Amino acid sequence: MPHLEEHVSLRPFNTFGLDVTARYFARFASAEELRHLLALPPVQAGPLLILGGGSNLLLTQDFAGVVLKNEIKGLEIISEDDDTHTALVRAGAGESWHGMVEYTLDQELSGIENLSLIPGTVGAAPLQNIGAYGAELQDTFERLEALAIGTGELRVFNKEECGFGYRESVFKGPLKGQFVVTAVVLRLHRASGGRPVNVSYGAIQDTLTDLGIEAEPTPRNVSDAVVHIRRSKLPDPAEIGNAGSFFKNPEISQRKFDELKARYPALPGYPVPGGVKVPAGWLIEQAGFKGMRRGPGAGTHGVHERQALVLVNHGGATGQELRELAEEVIRAVGTQFGIELHPEVNIL
């Protein structure tokens, strides 16, 4: 059974590369190991942080409680349905998300190729219903298994029970901090079933053309295109610390959108039920933050030069400094556009 280590640096375990220390730290590779750890006195005393790949976290100070890192593995096809040309794939929550995408492509299954290269673990994917390039986790989601932190019991949640929304789920809302996701089951399509790939996101079609793929792209082609686009826009955390989009794209009323559009004719917007979604990256760029750097020398942190929605640690920044920069961005966008930005990243 795993044991608790003391005073462990979390630097290798968060993609911002922030050097904060956990009072206690352990890894678990099964529900049994997790139950064992949850019963230990320091874990009972709290606070508790369940860690996946640390790619959606901003750690602003040392963590006084226990950090438990999910390393539950396993990838398998658990059933096939010849009538619907679908298969259920079950993954342990500690598998890497992109590893799962690769596995499904190797098995000639489609459905999550648009979500290629999103960092982090399978188990964190339902937390914010990960999304990119015209797809969201909920499109293929069948069910998940989760362990109740209070009782140690395993519970199954179907799609409705997860309450998915844009970068939302019950696990970020009413059930926050109550469950550890241990496995996820997705329903994917047999490539032989003839289901067309999803190239609704304009940049995918353009990239496929650039890559010389003209007719009938395969799921693998779409994955390659998504990887290509992501590498051109998003900083690689191995080189520049970041947690992807720092803020969510705000949704505003049609009236508010029309008012702003009169003042800023170039303002982009996408209709959503009840209003218009506007790209936060555009607002932040207009507010003058794109590529800006803060801190000594050439700057320790700032806003990415190719994607204004991404805050970056160039090296040596603290979580507190990044949080202050985020607050400054929120204030500036609020003053200029009257729109309140909300962080997507979990700030601790």
Q: Binding string, 3-22, against ligand FAD, x = CB under 6 A? A: ------------x-------
Spell out the alpha helix ranges (H) of 26-130. Answer: 31-38, 41-45, 97-106
* Cα dihedral 300→303→304→309 (10° resolution): 150
Q: What angle do CA 323, 21, 299 make, to 5 degrees?
A: 40
Among ligand EPU, ligand FAD, none, what does residue 173 contact (CB within 5–8 Å per kind)?
Answer: none
**Binding track over 256-275 against ligand EPU, x by CB under 6 A:** ------------x-------
Name which of 230 and 293 has its Cβ closer to ligand FAD: 230
Establish if 231 lies at the interface with ligand EPU (CB under 6 A). Answer: no
Give whichever of 268 and 288 is closer to ligand EPU, judged by the CB atom.
268
**Cis-peptide into 47, omega within 30 deg:** yes
Residues with catalytic function: 167, 245, 344
Please state, in angstroms and rounded to a whole number, the distance separating the CA atoms of residues 160 and 168.
13
**Binding to ligand FAD by residue 128, rule CB under 6 A?**
yes
Q: Which amino acid is at 286?
A: Q
Residue 249 interacts with which of ligand EPU, ligand FAD, none, CB < 5 to 8 Å by class: ligand EPU
Does 46 bind ligand EPU (CB under 6 A)? Our answer is no
Whether 308 and 244 have beta carbons less than 8 Å apart is answered as no
Q: Residue from 26, 43, 105, 124 that binds ligand FAD (CB under 6 A)?
A: 124
Counting runs of H as helices and runs of E as strands, what totals does the chain give?
9, 21
Binding track, positions 170-189, relative to ligand FAD; x by CB under 6 A: ----------xx--------
What is 220-275 written as a DSSP string? HHHHHHHHHHHHHHSPPTTTSEE-S-SBPPPEE-HHHHHHHHHH-TT---EEETTE
For residue 44, give Cα distances in angstroms to 28, 36, 178.
16, 11, 13
Instruction: Compare residues 176 and 233 and give the one whose CB is closer to ligand EPU.
Output: 233
- In terms of CB distance, is 235 or 269 closer to ligand FAD? 235
132 binds ligand FAD (CB under 6 A): yes
Residue 233 contacts residue 307 (beta carbons within 8 Å): yes
> Which of ligand EPU, ligand FAD, none interacts with 18 (beta carbon under 5 to 8 A by kind)?
none
- Chosen residue from 74, 279, 295, 316 binding ligand EPU by CB under 6 A: 279
Question: Rg (Cα) of the chain, in Å, rounded?
Answer: 21
For residue 100, state whether it binds ligand FAD (rule: CB under 6 A).
Answer: no
**Which position has the token pair 């170039």?**
266
Site membership for ligand EPU, residue 133 (CB under 6 A)? yes
Binding site for ligand FAD (CB under 6 A): 15, 49-57, 70, 93, 118-121, 123-125, 127-128, 130-132, 180-181, 234, 237, 242-244, 346
